[in-house]
Amino acid sequence: MCEKLSDGTEDCKIVRNPEDHNAGNLENSIMAQYFRSAGEYADISRTTKPFECQTLGKHMRDLAKQYGYVELPKCYGTFPEKKFPTSINDLISAHFVFPSFIKDAPQDQKLPIVLLGPGLFADPGLQDHMAELLAHHGFIGVPTSSSFNGFGEQFLAATIIADKANKDPNHPLHGRIDFSRLYMFGHSASGDSALGMNGVLEREMKRTIPELRVAGVVGMTPSVGDFYWHGLTGKAPTLFVEADMDHAAPFGLARWRYGLLDQPAWWTPVRGSRHNTEMDATYNTSESGLTLAFLRFLEGDKEAATWFIGDDWKLPKDKALYDVRRNAAADALEAAPQ
């Protein structure tokens, strides 16, 4: 059912059966366009093997029943999945998922890097599914967590760990990371901090990594942290992905935050989606395809660009979304910012 709003847009709320929980499963949706292909790189590698969550297992199974997941999210074994941390690495960690070809590619070939943060007190393995999707499409995915995840320290730590890996001749990603093409993706609490670290990460890391540039940010159902991150907006293009049926982090605050940004920004609520829908298998959510399309657009993909820029941009026509918006800076773009 859709309600006509005073600004002329429609606010659509859809009540869906658990068996048909995600309106992203529609022909011509972002998901259908950008995920229902395996990606260019079939073979991927990991520095940490994910496993079925144990401590978080019951919670994951409850979510699966509530949200209609087709696959359970996985864990890497850091806190809180590991109940009793024994080292700092159990609390703050970063893990690499990447296309295997890069290990034997010409020495000057590098790949863009995407830092992936989960929600409050969440194991970073909950973002392994998104990292895997991105690796199949030529990105280095880096699930990272500081346990709390609300203040952005996980993104700072992941950048430091990635820089160390890039300089380590014994690491499979030695010399392979292109820090001038660094992206941040955050879900829930990490969504808040990704939006805030947009204005902090370059400033803090430039002396260590002179070429570092935050090339884009995805805030996935960000939470109440919009208050304490107010004013730290950065300059990288920003995608807000919101859930129509999000009762954990209603998106009024995020909508306010979107309205404050001067850099190119897009507002994309997903029909029939909930706060943790994005944790399902990537082939069963529109959130994953939307994220991939945005990153590909920022990487210069001309087909992906047609969804985000131009007078006849496609996002407002996507049946998986509603009330899609872009700000004046995004409206003025003729190509991805460089």
Per-residue CA distances from 302 to 213, 293, 295, 296 (Å): 22, 11, 12, 9
Rounded to an integer, what distance in angstroms lies between the CA atom of residue 276 and that of residue 106?
39
| Higher pLDDT among residues 232 and 24, named by residue | 232
If you average pLDDT over residues 59-79, what whole number do you get?
83
Does pLDDT of 308 surpass 70?
yes
Domain ranges in the chain? 2-331
Rounded to an integer, what distance in angstroms lies between the CA atom of residue 252 and that of residue 128?
28
For residue 90, name the pLDDT band (cuts at 50, 70, 90). Answer: confident
Rounded to an integer, what distance in angstroms lies between the CA atom of residue 126 and that of residue 130?
9
To 10 degrees, what angle do helices 189-197 and 153-167 make? Answer: 70
Superfamily for domain range 2-331: Alpha/Beta hydrolase fold, catalytic domain (3.40.50.1820)
Per-residue CA distances from 216 to 145, 200, 294 (Å): 19, 13, 9
For residue 162, name the pLDDT band (cuts at 50, 70, 90). Answer: very high
Residue range 114-148, pLDDT digits in tens: 999 999 888 999 999 999 999 999 999 999 998 88
Please, what is the average pLDDT of the chain? 86
193: left (phi over 0), alpha (psi -120 to 50) or beta: alpha
Reduced 3-state DSSP string for the chain: CEEECCCCCEEECCCCCHHHCCCCCCCCCHHHHHCCCCCCCCCEEECCCCEECCCCHHHHHHHHHHHCCCCCCEECCCCCCCCCCCCHHHCCEECCEEEHHHHHCCCCCCEEEEEEECCCCCCHHHHHHHHHHHHHCCCEEEEEECCCCCCCHHHHHHHHHHHHHHHCCCCCCCCCEEEEEEEEEEECHHHHHHHHHCCCHHHHHCCCCCCCCEEEEEEECCCHHHCCCCCCCCCCCEEEEEECCCCCCCCHHHHHHHHHCCCCEEEEEECCCCCCHHHCCHHHCHHHHHHHHHHHHHCCCHHHHCCCCCCCCCHHHCCCECCCEECHHHHCCCCCCC
pTM summary value: 0.90
Does pLDDT of 98 surpass 90?
yes
Residue 122 CB coordination number (10 Å) = 28
Q: Which residues contact 304 (CB under 8 A, 6 or more apart)?
A: 34, 293, 294, 296, 297
**pLDDT for position 19:** 38
With a pLDDT cut of 70, the percent of the chain lying above it is: 88
